[in-house]
Amino acid sequence: MKMKIAIIGCGNMGMAFARSFLQYELVNKDQLLLVEKNDHRCAILKAARDGIVINTINAELKDYELIILAVKPQDFEELAEELKDKLEPSQIVLSIMAGITIKKIQEKLNHKSVIRAMPNTPGMLGMGITGFTSAEGISIARLFKVENLINATGRSIYLEDESLLDAVTALSGSGPAYFYYFVKHMVEAGKKMGFDEGTAQLLVKQTMLGAYHLINNAELSLDDLIKAVASKGGTTEAALNIFNSHHMDDIIIEAVLGAEKRSRELSR
Ligand SMILES: NC(=O)c1ccc[n+]([C@@H]2O[C@H](COP(=O)([O-])OP(=O)(O)OC[C@H]3O[C@@H](n4cnc5c(N)ncnc54)[C@H](OP(=O)(O)O)[C@@H]3O)[C@@H](O)[C@H]2O)c1
């Protein structure tokens, strides 16, 4: 039996979820409620006909088994005021908002059945990774249903310990931006060496794609993969020496831990 799903906040992530569910036929368009308060986005969603589109929560919401909260964290308090008297105890709330704990969601919504997930933007292409955890009292069967839905956006891992969601946020939630940052500066280096933007991008992006597949398929450790490119006294070693002289390894670790710390601060 397919779940009836409502998504509140239909921006990048909300619609990444909606489109993945539709692509894998996990929901029917007439059983997908899209609540979007931004008039411009609302008009676009209505034209796209991906579901039933409304701009404020109404009594219809009680017919939906799963309510997904995909507004920005700073919009949650206002949303909670609108939502708290409209939930049925049997409904499941799935939050993908960064940094808002299950406890806080339960308190603000006066609702027990809350699942919290941290996806990432490659979920838009079905290539995301989501960490998720759940409040007590949600049956395994219902949890599996939600996991199946999340897996339409890529892969997922269930975490017993909610506090690890801060680490998920720092590694995979923010991770795509670290990767784009590295790609951007490699492309800049390519341009400095004489390539036009398009050629530099092609060289860097195809390198990243190929290297990603080698990580997954070569049955070598990351250190061995590095050694296989960096011969003694060669060009790669020259670049790695510069990374090491700037303690790039420490910088990367410090940056990711900084993201985790910020996620913890936002949770308070
Ligand atoms: N982007 C990421 O990489 C990422 C990764 C993991 C998790 N997340 C989480 O996903 C959530 C959504 O992020 P996003 O990037 O998709 O944000 P977004 O593109 O800004 O989408 C949120 C949408 O919700 C609308 N909205 C705000 N309050 C509403 C309400 N009360 N009812 C209905 N709609 C409402 C917003 O309208 P207005 O624009 O008019 O305010 C906006 O169109 C955030 O909580 C974020 O922490 C994001």
Q: Same CATH topology for 5-160 and 175-267? A: no
Q: Regarding the domain with residue range 5-160, which homologous superfamily does it belong to in the CATH classification?
A: NAD(P)-binding Rossmann-like Domain (3.40.50.720)
**HSE-up of 260 (CA within 13 Å, CB side)?**
14
Residue 2's pLDDT is what? 87
Nearest to 176, CA basis, from 129, 133, 245, 227: 129
Instruction: Please report which confidence band the pLDDT of residue 266 belongs to, taking 50, 70 and 90 as the band edges.
Output: confident
Whole-angstrom distance, CA of residue 13 vs CA of residue 200: 30
Q: Is 61 in the pocket of ligand 1 (CB under 6 A)?
A: no
The helix (run of H) or strand (run of E) holding residue 69 is: strand 66-69
For the chain, the structural domain boundaries read 5-160, 175-267
Q: Is 68 in the pocket of ligand 1 (CB under 6 A)?
A: no
Q: Tell me the pLDDT tens digit for each residue of 185-211.
A: 999 999 999 999 999 999 999 999 999
pTM of the model: 0.92
Q: Which two tokens stand for residue 181?
A: 């940052």
Positive or negative, the CA dihedral 132, 14, 262, 138 is negative
Residues 6+ away with beta carbon under 8 Å from 82: 56, 57
pLDDT at 178 over 90: yes
pLDDT at 128 over 90: yes
pLDDT at 1 over 90: no
Q: Tell me the pLDDT tens digit for each residue of 61-107.
A: 999 999 999 999 999 999 999 999 999 999 999 999 998 999 999 99
Q: Is 3 in the pocket of ligand 1 (CB under 6 A)?
A: no
Q: Which CATH number fits domain 175-267: 3.30.70.20, 3.30.450.20, 1.10.3730.10, 3.40.720.10?
A: 1.10.3730.10
